[in-house]
Amino acid sequence: MFFKKKQTKPEQTFVQVGERRILAKIYTERRRGVRFSLGKAGAICRLPDFLLTSDRQRELERFKAWVAKTIVEKGPDEGHALGKTYQDGDILQVGNRTFFIHIEWTDNKNHSARLRSKNIHLKLTKLDSETNRTKAIRQLLSRTVAQDYLPQIERRVMELNHLYFRKEIKNVSLKYNTSNWGSCSNLGNINLSTCLLFAPDDVVDYVIIHELAHLLEMNHSPRFWKHVADAMPDYKEKEKWLKKNWHSCNF
């Protein structure tokens, strides 16, 4: 007999690994065993709801040790996307563009960001929690970099569409999305993740071609993959790159 998982709001904390602070989410749910995992946005711990306080604390300590050991074993790139922190004066490299981060602490209610040339000015409120602030910084950096990159991405989408598909495109957008690299709607909207901007140009082209092919086939049928292969015969190499390097593509 398997228990249905009880959906609860996770407890959020950080795990210190050397100089890195890894965002961690702790779920307490109706389940039999303990499960640890690493995702694009951080570390995840799933605990049964019947654990005694002492047992729960012991599992949390084991989780922290597991996170540290796993990241060390997988190398520094694994930690790039997990709970990265920023300081005033840091440099953010996204593709072939370099941005300089400037941080100002305020008593405002909200966080904000402004791009001036290649300088990203972050105004961060001191009133927010560290967990919320870390999440907000990623979203602000993503939004600001997207603003800078969007004209180039729009041009490339139109170029590839003209070369291989010649379908009507309604809109092209860049959004902070860690669940997929891109999507295409039946209305002709092409959505791409800003995480993709960390990838090489040929890999970006592959994801664009993949989404454009959906304008012909809204599925992953053999006919769909033939459209992709016709436009990019070595597309499988680009897929391999994404699977191998996804952890280094994030803010």
* Domain assignment present for 168: yes
The residues, any chain, with a CB within 8 Å of residue 19's CB and separated by 6 or more, are none
**Pair (117, 168) in one structural domain:** no
Question: Is the model's pLDDT at 82 over the cut of 60?
Answer: no
* Domain assignment present for 4: no
CA neighbor of 48 nearest in space, from 35, 32, 59, 37: 32
Domain that includes residue 232, residue range = 150-248
**Pair (102, 172) in one structural domain:** no
CA neighbor of 147 nearest in space, from 99, 106, 190: 99
Question: Is the model's pLDDT at 221 over the cut of 50?
Answer: yes
Cα–Cα distance measured from residue 182 to residue 174, given in angstroms and rounded to the nearest whole number: 9
Cα–Cα distance measured from residue 211 to residue 182, given in angstroms and rounded to the nearest whole number: 7
Cα–Cα distance measured from residue 169 to residue 102, given in angstroms and rounded to the nearest whole number: 37
Long-range contacts of 111-120 (CB under 8 A, 24+ apart): 111/136, 111/137, 111/140, 112/140, 113/140, 113/141, 113/143, 113/144, 114/144, 115/144, 115/147, 115/148, 120/92, 120/144, 120/145
**Pair (27, 113) in one structural domain:** no
Share of the chain above pLDDT 70, in %: 91
* Domain assignment present for 3: no
**Last residue of one domain, picked from the residues 147, 178, 193:** 147
**Pair (113, 34) in one structural domain:** no
* Domain assignment present for 201: yes
Question: Residue 19 has what pLDDT?
Answer: 63
**Pair (143, 159) in one structural domain:** no
Question: Is the model's pLDDT at 14 over the cut of 90?
Answer: no
Output the average pLDDT for the chain. 88
Query: Is the torsion defined by CA of 180, 149, 215, 225 positive or negative?
Result: negative
Question: Is the model's pLDDT at 15 over the cut of 70?
Answer: yes
**Pair (137, 202) in one structural domain:** no
**Pair (154, 196) in one structural domain:** yes
Question: Is the model's pLDDT at 17 over the cut of 60?
Answer: yes
Task: Domain count for the chain, please give it.
Answer: 3
pLDDT tens for 108-143 read: 999 999 999 999 999 999 999 877 888 899 999 999
Question: Residue 83 has what pLDDT?
Answer: 53
